[in-house]
Amino acid sequence: MGKKIGIIGYGTIGAYLVGKIKKDADLSLAFVFDTDSGKLSGLDEDLVLSSIDEARKRKADLVVEVADAECVTTMAPFVLQFSDLLVVSVTAFAEQGLMEKLDAVAMRHRTRYYVSHGAIVGLDGVKDGKELIDEAHITTIRPQEGYGLEEELKSRTVLYDGPTRGACRRFPKNVNIHASLALHGLGFDRTHSTVIADPEATVMEHIIDIRGRGLAWKIEVQGKPLGERTAAYVPVSVFQTLRRICSEECGMTLI
């Protein structure tokens, strides 16, 4: 049966993961949970949890969170008591004290939690070169529909420009890529975020500028949206991340 995977959240990414896990000989599903039980109709009833409290009994090797930042805050401390955890809603870590709380639970129960890089590339370089980096700026430009704005914009509009912590609090479902950059680099208060809505945009675009002692990097990422918030690359990225976490293959591993 291979490694047993639990899924929290059954939106675009969660549905993709369930489909891929079912076809993977090295993985199996332990459970699927969503706070909106209506999303789970059509799934095997044996997999569906009516309450997250039931998750402990399913003996998952890894639980993957693909719900939202609030879910991380409320459920991650419980999940880490019995399973490793992969967090995709990275904006949750903009809440001061959450990381320390999860670290304490993980140490107590000998579990681990992983942070997904999601739609961003190049975070390995940011993490490895952190001590040399002086400035980190990330700009996101995307169609306005994904921001949940009440008014219809007529032209490209800057919705936020400031420290990444504030961007995560204002747009918790839209700037996970900003949170990932902050966690791997200078932190939520020293990383600078610009969030832009463009009614004419057809892709999601992220532009990352890094400057430091002896280095200057510019990373540009574009992705076609799946629905309103998720770029096409993200579900694929999350699945490959969970495969690497669960892999027991011998030989070369690219990290």
Q: Could you state, in order of their start, the residue ranges of all structural domains in the chain?
A: 3-115+233-246, 123-223
pLDDT at 1: 58
Tokens for 60? 């998952």
| DSSP per-residue codes, 53-114 | GGGGGG--SEEEE-S-HHHHHHHHHHHTTTSEEEE--GGGGGSTTHHHHHHHHHHHHT--EE
pLDDT at 57: 95
| DSSP per-residue codes, 202-252 | -SEEEEEEEEETTEEEEEEEEE-EETTTEETHHHHHHHHHHHHHH----S-
Residue 255 Cα to chain centre, angstroms: 18
Q: Nearest Cα to 174, choosing from 197, 201, 154? A: 197
As a whole-number percent, the residues of the chain with pLDDT over 70 amount to 95
Q: What is the CA radius of gyration of the chain?
A: 18
Q: How far apart, in whole angstroms, are the C-alpha atoms of residue 212 and residue 78?
A: 39
pLDDT at 150: 79
pLDDT at 233: 83
pLDDT at 227: 67
Q: How far apart, in whole angstroms, are the C-alpha atoms of residue 116 and residue 102?
A: 16
pLDDT grade for 224, boundaries at 50, 70 and 90: confident
Architecture of domain 3-115+233-246: 3-Layer(aba) Sandwich (3.40)
Residue 215 has pLDDT above 70, yes or no: yes
Per the prediction, the chain carries an average pLDDT of: 91
pLDDT at 148: 79
Q: Over range 28-42, report the average pLDDT.
A: 92
**Domain 123-223 in CATH 3.30.360.10:** yes
Q: Over range 154-178, report the average pLDDT.
A: 95
Report the DSSP pairing between strands 230-231 and 225-226: antiparallel
Phi/psi at 70 (5° precision):
-60, -40
